[in-house]
């Protein structure tokens, strides 16, 4: 019974953080300014890192198998890497100013 409640709680948190990544990227795409774009992408990066945290908890509590968690973690790490690169480039371009 407690395990089911824990699984539901973790699943809800994972769903929220995972879907927030894309939602904030959608907002970033519609950003009105470069700083707005950077802010929304930063939130997406934070959510991607939070998603990794929830996936680690799934593994630590043995709620999900490594077969299930491994590909999800790989994808989340890839998102973190992609978002980190996007933000690094956006910040550099923002410092250069308009062309």
Domains and CATH numbers, the chain: 2-96 (1.20.1440.60)
Q: How many CA atoms lie within 13 A of 50 on its CB side?
A: 18
Q: Which residues of the chain carry a pLDDT beneath 50?
A: none
Under a CB-based contact definition with an 8 Å cutoff, are residues 20 and 79 in contact?
Answer: no
Give the pLDDT of residue 98: 62
For residue 36, what are the contacts with CB-CB under 8 A and spacing of at least 6? 28
**pTM exceeds 0.85 for this model:** yes
Show the tokens assigned to 81.
């890497």
């Amino acid at each position: 019974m407690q395990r089911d409640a824990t699984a539901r709680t973790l699943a809800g948190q994972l769903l929220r953080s995972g879907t927030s990544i894309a939602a904030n990227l959608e907002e970033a795409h519609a950003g009105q300014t470069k700083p707005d774009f950077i802010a929304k992408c930063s939130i997406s990066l934070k959510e991607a890192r939070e998603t990794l945290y929830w996936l680690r908890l799934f593994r630590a509590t043995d709620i999900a198998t490594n077969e299930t968690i491994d590909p999800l973690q790989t994808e989340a790490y890839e998102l973190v890497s992609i978002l980190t690169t996007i933000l690094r480039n956006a910040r550099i371009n923002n410092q250069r100013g308009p062309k």
